[in-house]
Amino acid sequence: MNLPPPIDPARHALFIDFDGTLVDLVDDPTGVVISPEAVERLGQLQAACAGAFAVVSGRRIADLDHFLQPLQFAAAGVHGLERRDQPGAPVVPLAGPEGLDSIRVALGAGVVAEPRLRLEDKKTALVVHYRGFPELQEAAIRLVSAAVGEEPGYAVMKGDNIVEVHLAGMDKGKAIEALMAHAPFQGRQPIYVGDDTTDEFGFYAVRKLGGVSIKVGDGATEAEFRLASVDSVHRWLGVARREASQQQGETQS
């Protein structure tokens, strides 16, 4: 396994995916857990990087804030359809929920007809989940494809045991490029860490920007480096935090 280099908080901008990267995957999307100690460590790393630390996720930013409370991070949510350039700044939505109304109705009917499929409504995106029922992957893809039909302007994304639809135009790579255009990210070397197929957009973008791309777990990828698991991600982030505190101590003494 090609292990990633250590983080240099003075020089790097960190972009980190959430599900499957900072938290282990579970059946119920509302049931993911991150320990208060891990959140505290992320906050220390955020401070060491002078705020150049963003969570880049398919989740809504409000949900990321809930899981990562009491902290807030710069963030790209719903694959870049929501963005917050720094903690405390307003969340800017790049699309509203209205465009998905007819698809919402069709998917709602689909999950009633096949109750092993579950529908997650993120307002600006709809997700059909089939975790626990791999045999339903094709049914989930067919359901979403039929609901979208020939309508232009939608992106259908296949993720880890999910099929997701939202308005086309954004992805995690474009979100990283947009964040990199401003302080505190601008001028730093980007690092992106993610585990899923939708993270490939992020890997591609940071490679184009001369950055460091890190895939979590197995599977084909455009990323240059790998970490084995969520635990390895936290260990790697923790090492960077410890080195940053040591450097701070040396500067002060």
Applying CB under 6 A, the residues found at the interface with ligand L263DTV3 are: 17-20, 25-27, 29, 32, 57-59, 120, 122, 127, 129, 131, 159-162, 164, 196, 198
What's the distance, Cα to Cα, between the start and end of the chain in Å? Answer: 38
Which residues carry out catalysis? 17
Task: Name the residue nearer to ligand L263DTV3 (CB basis): 128 or 244.
Answer: 128
- Closest separation between CB of residue 164 and ligand L263DTV3, Å? 6
Query: 231 is written with which tokens?
Result: 């635990």
- Closest separation between CB of residue 4 and ligand L263DTV3, Å? 18
Task: Name the residue nearer to ligand L263DTV3 (CB basis): 104 or 122.
Answer: 122
Among 145, 170, 169, 140, residue whose Cα is nearest residue 156: 145
Shortest Cβ contact with ligand L263DTV3: which residue?
58
- Closest separation between CB of residue 131 and ligand L263DTV3, Å? 4
Task: Name the residue nearer to ligand L263DTV3 (CB basis): 15 or 244.
Answer: 15
Q: How far apart are CA 47 and CA 49, in angstroms?
A: 5
- Closest separation between CB of residue 187 and ligand L263DTV3, Å? 26
Q: What is the largest CA-CA distance in the chain?
A: 67
Task: Name the residue nearer to ligand L263DTV3 (CB basis): 215 or 244.
Answer: 215
- Closest separation between CB of residue 55 and ligand L263DTV3, Å? 8
For residue 4, whether the previous peptide bond is cis, meaning omega lies within 30 degrees of 0, is: no
Among 193, 194, 125, residue whose Cα is nearest residue 157: 125
Please answer whether residues 151 and 89 qualify as being in contact, where contact means their C-beta atoms are separated by less than 8 angstroms. Answer: no
Please answer whether residues 80 and 172 qualify as being in contact, where contact means their C-beta atoms are separated by less than 8 angstroms. Answer: yes
Pairing of strands 82-84, 74-77: antiparallel
Task: Name the residue nearer to ligand L263DTV3 (CB basis): 139 or 244.
Answer: 139
Alpha helices, DSSP H, located in the chain:
36-48, 61-68, 101-113, 137-148, 172-180, 200-208, 230-252
